Structure 1
Amino acid sequence: MKNYLKRAAMCFALILLVVSCAEEDVLVNNEALNTSNLAKKIKTPGFADNNMVLYWNEKTELVLSAPGPQPSRARFFAIIQIAVHDALNNIKPKYQRYALLNERRKFADPDAAVASAAYWAIKGLNRQGAFAANLETWYIQSLATIPDGESKELGKTLGKNAADAIIAKRANDGLLQVIFFTDLLPNGVNPGEYRSTLTALNWIPQTTLASTRNVSNWGTVMQPYVIESNYQFRPTGPYPVTSNEYTTDFNEVKTKGARVGGIRSADEEKKGKFWSENRPSIIWNHIVRQAIENKKLDAWKTARLFALMHVSMAESINSALNGSYHYYSWRPETAIRLADNDGNDNTQGNPDWLPVLSETPTSVSPPVPGYPSGFAAYGGTTAEILRLFFETDKTSIAITTTSTHPAVPVDPAQKPSFQYSSFSQAARDNSLSLIYNGWDFRKSALDGEEMGRQIANYVFNHHFRENDE
């Protein structure tokens, strides 16, 4: 009798265990939205290599390579890379999400989510332009590499939701209040105050190409992504025109950056031309891609790095423009032409002086006030993100120009390139190229670079951080 009762109790316990497991399966299936067999289909949920992330980053770069205002390009790049980051981290929340916060699809296919996020973000921002047909082909080809089924469909839906979420979050970020125009900015009156650089030589008006458009209120109306305000990291300002430090910077750029009679080393000449020919968002995206090579990063880490980098770049150009119009400081070409009346006895004017890159009467310095340098901020912020992410400044990268300028050789083997052993070295060359081109004073370049570094530190330590779960 005792043995019978013992066996009965064991059977009853076994029945309870089976019922409990069945109930748990129902809960799991409900949570996964009827994805009953997905756990079997995906051997390692929450893992994927980074090939699809890199593929769509490359396509995003291609789409955004068309001429246009640098701040706009930085904004678009940031939004697209956030969409990819959020899509992956709603499959497995390894890192903090930004816009799509409460949509878990743990059995969604990561590659489908990445492709869908990038595709719908590009379309949602209306950035496809001349690549409209290509974009459809890229998306179809990407999805063709993924087995059909519930996992793939979940990934496609998740990616679109991630794109929709970040676009909605940035819908009222200030873009609609930005003033795009090609007219001349108001000229300052006192020494050191900005004078428009949209004219040169015989004062022929600058062309109306989109890349030259002025965005005078961008740094005021554009909402930050992570930092508290666009003036949070505003640098201290340019040197007083009558100071010894200003005189030193003045003479340096007057000598090295002159189109006629300039004194530059062959290395300085090459670096000035190299960095100026490349759009900052594009060339630094290339540098990040190179840094990723041989690091064996998974999709999540790669997407996080791109999000960190492009958000930091967007914050940096917003902040640089905020500072530029706050200080309203003149460019070297104006300073040198008007030096005889600047109140500094140690500066000598040259009314015919032009910067190196004034190849024609309508190719002049960037048409924005000269301090701090947004161009240098791009390099400073990206180099610092890379240093923080990889926990070292050391690297080994060969940077080849991405320029499509007619003077640049088509043959990849003949394109200009530079080898760098540290991220900070690349950032510093990026900054100093502005002096070699006659566009910026040293203080503007180095303060812009430092501002970019400070922004990178803030972004890295305040968002897209690793989750505990």
Structure 2
Amino acid sequence: MTTSMSRRHLLVTGGAAAAVLATTGLPSPAAAAPAHASGPAVVLAWNRELLAIVRTPGLQPATVHPTRSFALLHAAIHDAVVATTGTGRPYLFTVDVPGHAAPEAAAAQAAHDVLAALYPARAAELADLLAGQLARVTPPAARTDGVRAGQLVARLLLGLRTGDGSAAIPPVLPPGTAPGQYRPTPPAFAPAAFTHWAAVTPFVLDRADRFRAAPYPSLSGARYAKALQEVAAAGRDTSTTRTADETVQARFWAAPIWNYWNEIAQSVVTGSRSNLLVAARVFARLNLAFADAVIAFYEAKYHYRIWRPITAVRLAGEDGNPATDGVPDWSSLATTPADPAYPGAHSVVSQAGALVLRREYGPRWPVEVASEALPGVQRRFASFQEAADEAGLSRITAGVHTRLDHEAGRRLGLDVAAFVLRS
């Protein structure tokens, strides 16, 4: 069983500052910001930097999920800002710093130190970004004290995550043989990915299986047959029932889903004129929820080990359901990810993101989303929930998930995000 890092107890003294673990979680949206709180530029810049890193081939370790890096980055920024503004509740620990320490300097230094530790090959660029930000912070004494606070927060956080299971070698998952069991999918027939991730220690959840999805429906039942028939028709590469817009949706949302929601958060934070403290809180909540949601959905995926639609449709003649028919040459519109189907990752992460942003900014916030999978294309939504729904359902028309995966994913995303928000 895994246990949350945020439930451990710690007392550390370093230099001029002391840190004590906090167990009260992140502050409520209503927490007042101090009058001296600055804008969100520092938070946004480091988020953009990490997005650039994870999009650069070869920089992200293949067996370390990127959401871990986003959670580390934004937890460090958040706690550094809380420490130096004296407002809000920290994620992990309270750092005692001089009252005039600059929050911008603390946030920038904490962000730099986390990313420099995770991506040493990017050291020069990270140092340049930090230097440019620190140069704008005055007076020098406030900058220096802020830097010390940021260094301490980053060091403590990185230390707490050492040995969290993320560096483990992924075990090989034997291919399934019985109806319903997952097996590698064409065209690459790659081995299952992130088979070790369910054992990674959550950031906020007390255990990975706390909100495990309900057992998968019987393959012989009507629910399964209806879901398979839907994806067989709408998700096929040569589908005649999928609309032109559904095809665009399937291709639009094909990139890593946590990237989209970090981009959405950047746009919202900028458009709302959120200050530094609010920006730090929003990104911390968002990415802590994503990191734990990914741990949770891998726990469920590898607990149930449900086959993907491309396998299910091709072998439907063997599933024992008279309402399904095998189509041996069936192929999906999109390439199927190398992991089990249930629950759907896009649905989990999107629902978590929608709840976090809705809690901060309200239910009706216009959203404009860009896609790294379809450059130059933008889609507009009246709310975060509309964006989340489309992202999750797009995986059905892409042919890589059924509605059963989507519905279980939505439930899991809601549960994980709600837990993070009230922790």
TM-score by length of 2: 0.87
> What's the counterpart of residue 215 of structure 1?
194
> What's the counterpart of residue 161 of structure 1?
152
Indicate yes or no: 2:209 matched with 1:231: yes
Indicate yes or no: 2:262 matched with 1:285: yes
Identify the match of residue 122 of structure 1 among 115, 121, 126. 115
SS in 1 for 2:94: coil
> What's the counterpart of residue 96 of structure 1?
89
Contact 1:77/1:310, CA 8 A, preserved across alignment: yes
Indicate yes or no: 2:398 matched with 1:458: no
Identify the match of residue 348 of structure 1 among 325, 330, 335. 325
Deviation at 1:70, TM superposition (A): 8.7
SS in 2 for 1:189: coil
Indicate yes or no: 2:137 matched with 1:137: no
Contact 1:100/1:161, CA 8 A, preserved across alignment: no
Identify the match of residue 271 of structure 2 among 286, 294, 313. 294
> What's the counterpart of residue 368 of structure 2?
398
Identify the match of residue 175 of structure 2 among 187, 201, 224. 187
SS in 2 for 1:333: helix
Using the alignment, how far apart are the partners of 2:274 and 2:338 within structure 1?
40
Deviation at 1:87, TM superposition (A): 0.5
SS in 1 for 2:351: helix
Using the alignment, how far apart are the partners of 1:261 and 1:224 within structure 2?
40
> What's the counterpart of residue 16 of structure 1?
none
Partner letter of residue 64 of structure 1?
A: V
Contact 1:71/1:314, CA 8 A, preserved across alignment: no
SS in 2 for 1:177: coil
Q: Count how many residue pairs are aligned between Structure 1 and Structure 2.
A: 390
Identify the match of residue 47 of structure 2 among 34, 41, 57. 57
Contact 2:195/2:302, CA 8 A, preserved across alignment: yes
In structure 2, stretches of 5+ residues that fail to align are 1-15, 19-33
Identify the match of residue 248 of structure 2 among 255, 260, 270. 270
Q: Deviations over 1:325-372 (max 9, x none)?
A: 101111100001111111011101011111112xxxxxx311111101
Using the alignment, how far apart are the partners of 2:213 and 2:153 within structure 1?
35
Contact 1:379/1:431, CA 8 A, preserved across alignment: yes
Contact 2:95/2:153, CA 8 A, preserved across alignment: no
Indicate yes or no: 2:399 matched with 1:428: no
Percent identical residues: 27
Indicate yes or no: 2:312 matched with 1:335: yes
Deviation at 1:317, TM superposition (A): 0.6
> What's the counterpart of residue 236 of structure 2?
258
- Structure 1 segments of 4 or more deviating over 6 A? none
> What's the counterpart of residue 111 of structure 1?
104
Indicate yes or no: 2:66 matched with 1:73: yes
> What's the counterpart of residue 30 of structure 2?
none
Q: Against the structure 1 CA distance between its residues 395 and 316, is the aligned structure 2 distance closer, same or farther, given a 3 Å change threshold?
A: same
SS in 2 for 1:176: coil
Partner letter of residue 52 of structure 1?
A: V
Where do 1:230-249 residues align within 5 Å? 230-249=208-227
Identify the match of residue 449 of structure 1 among 379, 400, 410. 410
Using the alignment, how far apart are the partners of 1:205 and 1:190 within structure 2?
17
Deviation at 1:174, TM superposition (A): 1.3
Using the alignment, how far apart are the partners of 1:46 and 1:103 within structure 2?
18
Q: CA RMSD in A?
A: 2.1
Q: Against the structure 1 CA distance between its residues 110 and 275, is the aligned structure 2 distance closer, same or farther, given a 3 Å change threshold?
A: same
Q: Deviations over 1:277-326 (max 9, x none)?
A: x2212111011111223323211111010000000000101000000010
Using the alignment, how far apart are the partners of 2:276 and 2:114 within structure 1?
18
Deviation at 1:46, TM superposition (A): 5.0
Deviation at 1:381, TM superposition (A): 0.3
Contact 2:367/2:387, CA 8 A, preserved across alignment: no
Partner letter of residue 232 of structure 1?
A: R
Using the alignment, how far apart are the partners of 1:450 and 1:236 within structure 2?
10
Using the alignment, how far apart are the partners of 2:70 and 2:406 within structure 1?
23
Indicate yes or no: 2:399 matched with 1:438: yes
Contact 1:128/1:135, CA 8 A, preserved across alignment: no
Using the alignment, how far apart are the partners of 1:386 and 1:144 within structure 2?
32
Deviation at 1:238, TM superposition (A): 2.1
In structure 1, stretches of 5+ residues that fail to align are 1-30, 34-43, 207-211, 358-363, 410-414, 463-469
TM-score by length of 1: 0.79
Using the alignment, how far apart are the partners of 2:183 and 2:192 within structure 1?
16
Contact 1:99/1:169, CA 8 A, preserved across alignment: no
Partner letter of residue 56 of structure 1?
A: W
Partner letter of residue 225 of structure 1?
A: F
